[in-house]
Structures are given as structure tokens and as C-alpha cells.
Amino acid sequence: MKYFVKKDTTLLDLILEKNAGMSKQKAKKMIQYSRVEINGEVVKAIHSTLLKEGQTVEFLKLEKPKPAVQRPDRNRPVVILHEDAHIVVAVKPPGLVTAGETPGRETTFHKLLEDFLTYRAETKIRLWAVHRIDREVEGLILFAKSEEIRELFKEEWESVTKKYLALTENRPPEDKGVIATWLKEGPNMKMYCHKYEAADSKYAETEYEYLRSVTQYHLLDIKLHTGRKNQIRAHLAHIGCPIVGDRKYGAKADFVRQVRLLAYHLEFSHPITGKPMSFEYPPRNSFFNPAQHEDESYKVV
């Protein structure tokens, strides 16, 4: 906006004169959040800045600074497979906790994704984690853009299909089956399998199917029927098939922190439209070829 000063006045009075009905508070904010030029020169203006007859005053909108956020990088990229007004389906890299409180203000994937969307939109974006996958696990994760949408998912969560690929050290005794135990947390935050219900234990059911051998390893397709902490890792270790790199659950210490478990398939009905939605994230070549010295940066207990 550009104004011609017809008589000596102040910057605030000029704005109020030229904008009938504007409040003093709004006029002061206009000065605060604008670049002010008087006769073509930028000035550090306040509401009491004096103006002389014959001067021209122009208000130019300041470029809105982007929010200060943590940017994704090569090691912690943001991969979004789907986004709409209600949900986001993204890929969590290994080494990041999905969401929640972490020691030492450690970044979660929830925070990283929120920051990325906030940076892109130039306004604060909030997300709600619909479910979680282990820090060590890479793969598909679903977020809601409101608490209401998250609650809708929770009500129908049993109808959501979640599949994983697991690279194991040993071949299972049967080519397909269902592992059903009671899981209870023990020392070192490790989950232990119990044949019968024990105090503080939770029932867990994991379906698996043998796919093929991969060099000296074995590839399994996993379908979750329940969602317990470390469920797949504990169940596969229980049948003598620890996941490659998962030293916490009995795997050999041949690799530096590279658990080969991938959340590759997610299928559900959209909570608003009801439209069937299906997503897959294929494993990278490195999934089948863990390196001797790479470190995927997650804590090993």
C-alpha cells in the first residue's frame, strides 16, 4: 500500500486516516509486520514516526520466516507415500523411535515428519501417531491429522492389515504357521514368551509364511494379528529363527546394529471416504545384504 502525505502527521495517524474503521492495535501491527519506505528509503518505523507534507509512504509485506524446524537429511529422510486432508502414510527409517517421550530430547519420526510438513506449509502442522513400529524397524507408518481421525482408526484397528518381511538366520520348522503365546516384559526391556497367561502378560498372535532362501538367510512374510511390543522379534526367536542382526533376541553379533525387519504392507479403509487403501514399500537391496561395519544408529540393549 502506498500513501501520499497531505499534512504533517504521524505514521499511526496516517494509517488510521487512510483506513476508516481500523483499530489502533491493528494499525500498530501493520507497522510492526511491514517494511516501511518513506520517499523510497527503508526506515525503521514505529507508530510515532513523524511524516512531513509531500512525502510518500509505502508498506511492503515482510516475507514470513519459515518456522525453525529440524530438516530431514540423507540418514533421516522423509518419504511420504500418501497425504490428504486427514492422513499421512510415510516410511520410517531404522534408528528412530516412532513417537512419544524419549530420553535426552531425542528426535522421533513423529517430530521429524511434523517438522517437515510445517517447513513445507510455512505454518504449524500437527500429527497424531495411529500406531507404532519399533525403533529398529523400517517401513510404513500411519499418522492422522486430527485426534478425531486417530480415534476412528482405533475403533476399526482390527480390520487394518499389517505385513512385514523378516530375514532370519534359520528356516522355521514349518513353511507356514501361527505363533501364539503370552508376552511379558522382563529384564533389559526384553519381551519373553509364555505358554500360559502370566501376571502382566498380553496375548500375541503372529502368522508367518516362508518365502525363499536369500544366500545363507531365509525370508519370511509376516502378518500381525495383534500388536504387542517386539512381538515379531520375540516370536521368531521363540521358534528358533532370530531376525538377522537382532542381537537383543538371540541373533549372531556379525553385524553392527542392522535388524532386518521391514513393515512393507499396510491396508485399510479411509476413515472418512471409506475407500480401500493399500500401500507397499519394497525392501532395498541393502535389506538382503547387511554390511559388516554400517551402523543404523539405534540403541542395542
pLDDT in tens, 102-116: 666 678 999 999 999
> What pLDDT shows up at residue 64?
56
Concatenated DSSP letters for 71-136? PP-SSS--EEEEE-SSEEEEEEPTTS--SS--GGGPPPHHHHHHHHHHHHHTS----EES----TT
CATH number of 160-288: 3.30.2350.10
> What pLDDT shows up at residue 57?
87
Cα angle 89, 235, 214 (rounded to 5 degrees) comes to 75
Q: Under CATH, what is the fold of the domain 65-155? A: Pseudouridine synthase (3.30.2350)
Residue range 26-55: average pLDDT? 85
Greater confidence, 23 or 143? 143
> What pLDDT shows up at residue 72?
56
Give the global pTM: 0.73
> What pLDDT shows up at residue 78?
84
Q: How many residues appear in the chain?
A: 301
Using pLDDT thresholds of 50, 70 and 90, give the confidence band for residue 297: low
2-61: what CATH class?
alpha beta
DSSP bridge partners of 10: 50
> What pLDDT shows up at residue 63?
60
Using pLDDT thresholds of 50, 70 and 90, give the confidence band for residue 76: low
> What pLDDT shows up at residue 258?
83
Lowest mean pLDDT among 145-149, 244-248, 257-261: 257-261
> What pLDDT shows up at residue 301?
37
- Confidence check: pLDDT of 178 > 50: yes
> What pLDDT shows up at residue 98?
93
> What pLDDT shows up at residue 300?
43
- Domain limits of the chain? 2-61, 65-155, 160-288
Concatenated DSSP letters for 173-203? SSSEEEEEEEEEE-GGG-EEEESS--TT-EE
Do the domains 65-155 and 2-61 match in fold?
no
> What pLDDT shows up at residue 188?
84
| pLDDT, tens digit (0-9, with 9 covering 90-100), for 1-17 | 888 889 999 988 988 88
